[in-house]
Amino acid sequence: MELIGRIISPGAAEGPALITKDPVSFYGGVDPTTGIITDKDHELFGTSITGTIFIFPRGKGSTVGSYVLYRMKKQGTSPAGIINLESEAIIAVGAIIASIPLVDQLDQNPLEVIQAGQLVKIKGDRVIIN
């Protein structure tokens, strides 16, 4: 299956899908040293996002979250790529400065058509699901 979306941060990435319907705050909600979600109220609490294609509706929280994504990329704990329903400034800026591929506004809802663990590839504005 192939989906088409809007490029926020260009590039290519591949990894297993990690999916949540909860918004994500990278500042205070994700440990940049380990890549593990630390927000106790998040459905993925205790899960590592490192190396995944991280699929979530949108970001939330402080603008410092952009720099957390950048720090994660430098430390090797970031997701390989990000797919949002509708990206907002915090996640967009973080993905751009960290060179993490990010797409949103796909022609189908990724939360409904992609299953956790499926191999997902981001290539520019295309998302390929195996």
55-103 residue pLDDT tens: 999 999 888 999 999 999 999 999 999 999 999 999 999 999 999 999 9
Domain count, the chain: 1
What pLDDT sits at residue 61? 87
The CATH number assigned to the domain holding 9 equals 3.50.30.10
Decide if 15 contacts 120 (C-beta within 8 A).
yes
pLDDT mean over 101-130: 97
Which ranges in 24-118 belong to alpha helices (H)? 64-75, 89-98, 110-113
Active site residue 62: yes
Q: Choose, from 25, 62, 78, 99, the residue flagged as catalytic.
A: 62
Q: What is the rounded average pLDDT for all residues in the chain?
A: 97
**Average confidence (pLDDT) over 124-129:** 97
Radius of gyration of the chain, Cα coordinates, nearest whole angstrom: 13
Could you tell me the residue range of the domain that residue 52 belongs to?
2-129
What's the token pair of residue 127?
């998302």
Average pLDDT over residues 4-15: 98
DSSP state of 114: -
